[in-house]
Amino acid sequence: MRSYAIGALRLLNHTNIAEGTRWARDDFRNPLIALILTM
């Protein structure tokens, strides 16, 4: 699962994984955006 999450963040051009995880943590919609589960 960790590799999948890192891959999803890299697809969104997050080169710094720590920064990307903070981005995902800050708003509950961000992980859904990363996984293309929202419109």
Alpha carbon 4 to its chain's center: 10
Alpha-carbon distance of 15 to 13, in angstroms, equals 6
Write down the domain spans for the chain: 3-38
- Other Cβ atoms within 10 Å of 34 Cβ, number: 19
Q: 22-35 pLDDT, tens per residue? A: 988 888 777 777 67
pLDDT, the chain, mean: 81
pTM for the whole thing?
0.64
φ, ψ for residue 27 (rounded to 5)?
-140, 130
Alpha-carbon distance of 36 to 4, in angstroms, equals 14
CB 30 within 8 A of CB 23: yes
